[in-house]
Structure 1
Amino acid sequence: MLHRQPRNYMVGAAALTRGLPYCPSRRASQVIRPTASSHGRAEIAATGEGSDAATRLVISSSFTLAIQVQTSIRSINMLCLERLSPSLLSLKQLEHLDLSSNFLAKPSSRMSLFLGNMDNLRYLNLSGIPFTGTVPPQLGNLSKLQYLDLGKSYEMYSTDITWLTNLPVLQYLDMSGVNLSAVHDWPQNLNMIPSLRVIILSSCSLDSTNQSILYFNLTKLESLDLSWNIFNHKIGSSWFWKAKGLKYLNLHGSSLFGHLDNALENMTSLQFLDLSYNYNNNLAWTGNLTRNCSFEMVGNLKNLCSLEILDLTSNYISGDITVFMERFPQCTWEKLQGLHLGYNNFSGTLTNFIGNFINLRRLELNSNNLNGRIPPSLGNCTRLTIIDISGNKMAGPLPQQVQYLTSLSTLHVNSNNLSGSLPTGIGALAKLTYLDISNNHFSD
């Protein structure tokens, strides 16, 4: 069975990539220096030796950084720099600085220490720049900073992040890709910044979320991304369950396992929950699992009245699919938009209960052990754009009610035991661009 790529969900930042930007010319004069200001705009310019590169970087009076790079070949949205000039310090009034997705050539690829002296900054975005070496603790001098993005810095590391506690009004922090394997007290450090609303620490080589926090201060925290770390411990003991105001929680590929117990009962604001690809040790969600991870999650969904997206892809979860769905409280039925349960061991028959989720956009039940027929009530879910029930043991015909799914763009029902004729109304699905009914027993 072809294993499809996992979805990319983004909050506040683009999906992570490791590619380096294209540089139009290495001959260009690439040191950024401020030029004379005119009409309330401070202009920073660098011009190449030939016609192959001409670069102008503009900082407007509203302190929004705009980068325009024109070449004779194409227009691109990054700037190729040899180094950042300390002359930027002359912009004492600067509040907003965005240098993201630029290329700094070695050996000048370490983060410039002078950035820690731009103490009027509220916004600093250095994401996607291939810096190397340690994150300079001088960034802790930026006491007015509200937004700090150091994400996608895969060659940077830090052994001490206590400097973050000197940023008392910080609301957004992205250090994805920065190696923090030597920082074991990172939750305690972050807990000393109660203004934080968004924390993104994906792919940081973190090894635990088991730390004890006696007095929890992150009461404003709404979004937490700890995906692609290797925690390898029980999920129920994690500190983040104390963040009861969370709306977004991404634990994709973090090697968590065990019993959720009552961890979700207080997460009444949670809209997005991604526990996918925790298959290394099997996440105990419902039913009887291998490796002695058995658990019946009775009642734990009852207060998730804000839930819109649930992703449990590839966890080898077992149990009856209808029993699982019936645990969603009625307050969730009209809010749930994405249900991703592919690559598990769910069994049983998909019943008409699925028709209660009338605002579903995406339903993925592929690669399980489901049998029985596709319920006609699926036609109630008229906002569905993607259905994937491939790789099961479902039989019978496609229900005629499929014709009511006028928003449907993708339908995977391949590799089942479906039979009969295709519904005549399927030809009216004007938005359907991908249809796979292979490896079934359809008569036409």
Structure 2
Amino acid sequence: MRLELLYFFFYSMTVYILETNGWPQQGKHELRWNHSYTGINKPSNPIDKEVLEEFYHSTAGPAWLNNAHWLSGDPCESKWYGVGCNPSGDVVELDLSNNLLAGELPDRLSNMKNLEVLILRHNAISGTISPLLFTMKALRVIDLSYNKLSGSFPPQIELPFLTNLSLSNNQLEGYLPNHWNCLNLEVISISSNMLQGVLPNGLSTLSSLKYFDVSENFFIGPFPKEYSSLTSLETMWLFTNRFNNSIIPESWNKLVKMKNFQADSLAGNLPELIGVNWSDLEVLIVVDGHLTGDIPESFCHLKKLKYLHLFRNSLSGPLPKCFCDLPTSSLVSINLSYNQITGTVPDCFDNFRDLRYFYMENNNLTGTLPRSLSACKHLYTIDVSNNYLVGSIPSLYANLKDTLNWFELDNNRLNEIEDGLEDFIVTLSTKFCSLYGNPWSCPLPNYFSGKEYCTARCSSCNTLEQHSSCEKCLTSTSNCGWCADGRNCLEGYTNGPYYPYHCDQSEWVFGNKTNC
């Protein structure tokens, strides 16, 4: 249960970060359609009028948020709200999004032979999605997302003019069709349904596809190698399915226009193609899986990267030597938490002008806190808890007082709070700050006295006189020991210090001055 809560927390934070910095929430591809036919006042096609009247009654028209002019006069002449007509009087657009529609769509909707745009998103339309919908050959846009539609797809879809198919956040079941005669299709958004099975190879014929979101369903792996033919693809969201331990096919190196790739539960090493071939990536989120090995040097080729989220995997080794070559002017968020990354954090953040989120907790990092983080004038979060960092909180972090809202350093080996941080610490204590589980040297600065700011505490072992001296540590009191790995005097017993001061037994000296 705890793992599920942690994943939910990080997933929620990822969504929050993306939403607040200009990227759409998952499954939320919102079409902005420019209505082409305005000012038309020729009488409408009689069949279209009959269908619209039935549509009005079957979707609770009197209770709509806006039903201006409906059932009054002619749909085209009287300009019924949400209805667009062409010069011949055919109804070609029906856009009633966010309008409190309820009930079911009538089957006769398919009799509107010239309908090109059907946008009914964000309503409460229920019932089974009619297979007749997929026989309306003139359709260019179908957006029924955020409703309560059930049912399944027909065995094949032949809509030659269709550019946008958005059915996300419904209750659709079954399998995706393998036959698609939709050469102009640019958007498939079917997230948050109950679809299942493998992703069909037949989708590989959609050479115009740019946006592909199948997240939050029950699809299984492996990923089709044939999708290498989707050379127009820019956005691919695969997360929260059952692609357990799937790997990114090497053939996907042909998807050179990829800008936004999001998946989870992947396995294997991070492929070199991400940096070499997907060099236009702006968002890379591959989380909660079984990725192993180092982060490859090729990642430093991602010169447009804004979001790098690889949390909750098994990545190891140090950060790439070229870490400082990442796109310092565009990078907004780094989340590499819950891995096994080792080594130090490079002190090269001076030019990361837009960095807002820095998550590196629960790794095996050593060394000191990078002082250059103080130059990130928009930084909102620093979380490097549960590592092996040593040294001090730099006084330069006082520069982050007005922007930083989340500061987690707990469970490291930090031992000093530099002068000049009083306002910084006091301000953060009203937001979120956690410093516990570090061997802070006593006495703490006066502004900690009698208060619980940032939950920083020191122990009787960590006085200024004995904190950094093995001999003074071991002769002062019976419950103190010396940890050479981190050079701290710590409370503990013969077998090691109290949790969480990570100190290897071979580095621990207790009650034996001669071992100093």
TM over 0.5: yes
Within-5 A mapping of 1:332-347: 332-347=351-366
Q: Distance between the aligned counterparts of 1:99 and 1:304, measured in 2?
A: 38
Q: Distance between the aligned counterparts of 2:59 and 2:282, measured in 1?
A: 47
Residue equivalent to 2:403: 383
Alpha-carbon distance, 1:398 to partner: 7.5
Residue equivalent to 1:299: 322
Alpha-carbon distance, 1:13 to partner: 4.7
Q: Distance between the aligned counterparts of 2:352 and 2:65, measured in 1?
A: 53
Alignment of 1:164 with 2:203, yes or no, is yes
Alignment of 1:225 with 2:245, yes or no, is no
Alpha-carbon distance, 1:340 to partner: 0.7
Alignment of 1:312 with 2:336, yes or no, is yes
Q: Distance between the aligned counterparts of 1:386 and 1:16, measured in 2?
A: 28
* Rg larger in structure: 2
Alpha-carbon distance, 1:148 to partner: 0.9
Distance 1:65 1:88, change over 3 A: farther
Residue equivalent to 2:310: 275
Within-5 A mapping of 1:93-108: 93-105=138-150
Q: Distance between the aligned counterparts of 1:393 and 1:249, measured in 2?
A: 31
Secondary structure of the 2:142 match is strand
Within-5 A mapping of 1:163-242: 163-184=202-223, 186=224, 188-206=225-243, 207-209=245-247, 211-213=249-251, 216-226=253-263, 228-231=264-267, 233-236=268-271, 241-242=276-277
Alignment-mate amino acid for residue 211 of structure 1: P
Percent identity of the aligned residues? 17
Alpha-carbon distance, 1:238 to partner: 5.8
Which consecutive unaligned segments of at least 5 residues does structure 2 have? 29-44, 68-80, 85-92, 103-120, 460-516
Distance 1:180 1:86, change over 3 A: closer
Alpha-carbon distance, 1:66 to partner: 0.9
Q: Distance between the aligned counterparts of 2:185 and 2:191, measured in 1?
A: 16
Alignment of 1:134 with 2:166, yes or no, is no
Alignment-mate amino acid for residue 331 of structure 2: L
Q: Distance between the aligned counterparts of 2:356 and 2:187, measured in 1?
A: 30
Residue equivalent to 1:253: 288
Alignment-mate amino acid for residue 385 of structure 1: N
Q: Distance between the aligned counterparts of 1:119 and 1:405, measured in 2?
A: 62
What's the CA shift string for 1:345-402, capped at 9, x where partnerless?
Answer: 3233325333233332221122223343321101223432322223334344585446
Alignment-mate amino acid for residue 311 of structure 1: N
Alignment of 1:110 with 2:178, yes or no, is no
Q: Distance between the aligned counterparts of 2:271 and 2:172, measured in 1?
A: 36
Alignment of 1:8 with 2:14, yes or no, is yes
Residue equivalent to 2:114: none
Q: Distance between the aligned counterparts of 2:221 and 2:415, measured in 1?
A: 53
Distance 1:70 1:141, change over 3 A: closer
Alignment of 1:438 with 2:458, yes or no, is no
TM-score (norm 1): 0.71
Within-5 A mapping of 1:419-430: 419-422=444-447
Secondary structure of the 2:303 match is coil
Are 2:235 and 2:261, in contact at CA under 8 Å, matched by a contact in 1? yes
Alpha-carbon distance, 1:92 to partner: 5.3
Are 1:224 and 1:248, in contact at CA under 8 Å, matched by a contact in 2? yes
Within-5 A mapping of 1:365-384: 365-381=384-400, 382-384=402-404
Alignment-mate amino acid for residue 209 of structure 1: I
Alignment-mate amino acid for residue 325 of structure 1: P
Answer 1 or 2: which has greater helix percent: 2
Distance 1:59 1:142, change over 3 A: farther
Alignment-mate amino acid for residue 126 of structure 2: L
Secondary structure of the 2:56 match is strand
Distance 1:126 1:376, change over 3 A: same
Alignment of 1:148 with 2:179, yes or no, is no
Q: Distance between the aligned counterparts of 2:446 and 2:434, measured in 1?
A: 14
Alignment-mate amino acid for residue 131 of structure 1: L
Are 1:67 and 1:79, in contact at CA under 8 Å, matched by a contact in 2? no
Distance 1:192 1:69, change over 3 A: same
Distance 1:263 1:42, change over 3 A: farther
Residue equivalent to 1:244: 279
Alignment of 1:415 with 2:436, yes or no, is yes
Alignment-mate amino acid for residue 315 of structure 2: L
Residue equivalent to 1:26: none
Are 2:235 and 2:260, in contact at CA under 8 Å, matched by a contact in 1? yes
Q: Distance between the aligned counterparts of 1:393 and 1:64, measured in 2?
A: 60
Q: Distance between the aligned counterparts of 2:137 and 2:426, measured in 1?
A: 56
Distance 1:104 1:251, change over 3 A: same
Alignment of 1:68 with 2:92, yes or no, is no
Q: Distance between the aligned counterparts of 2:362 and 2:417, measured in 1?
A: 23
Secondary structure of the 1:270 match is coil
Are 1:283 and 1:317, in contact at CA under 8 Å, matched by a contact in 2? yes
Secondary structure of the 1:387 match is strand
What's the CA shift string for 1:183-206, capped at 9, x where partnerless?
Answer: 44x2x3222122111111113433
What's the CA shift string for 1:272-301, capped at 9, x where partnerless?
Answer: 1111000xxx31241xxxxxxxxx732354
Secondary structure of the 2:290 match is coil
Secondary structure of the 1:244 match is coil
Q: Distance between the aligned counterparts of 1:334 and 1:83, measured in 2?
A: 50
Residue equivalent to 2:130: 85
Are 1:390 and 1:412, in contact at CA under 8 Å, matched by a contact in 2? no
Alpha-carbon distance, 1:260 to partner: 2.6
* Higher-RCO chain (CA-CA 8 Å, sequence separation at least 6): 1
TM-score (norm 2): 0.63
Residue equivalent to 1:23: none
Residue equivalent to 2:34: none
Alignment-mate amino acid for residue 145 of structure 1: L
Alignment-mate amino acid for residue 14 of structure 2: N
Q: Distance between the aligned counterparts of 2:375 and 2:361, measured in 1?
A: 20
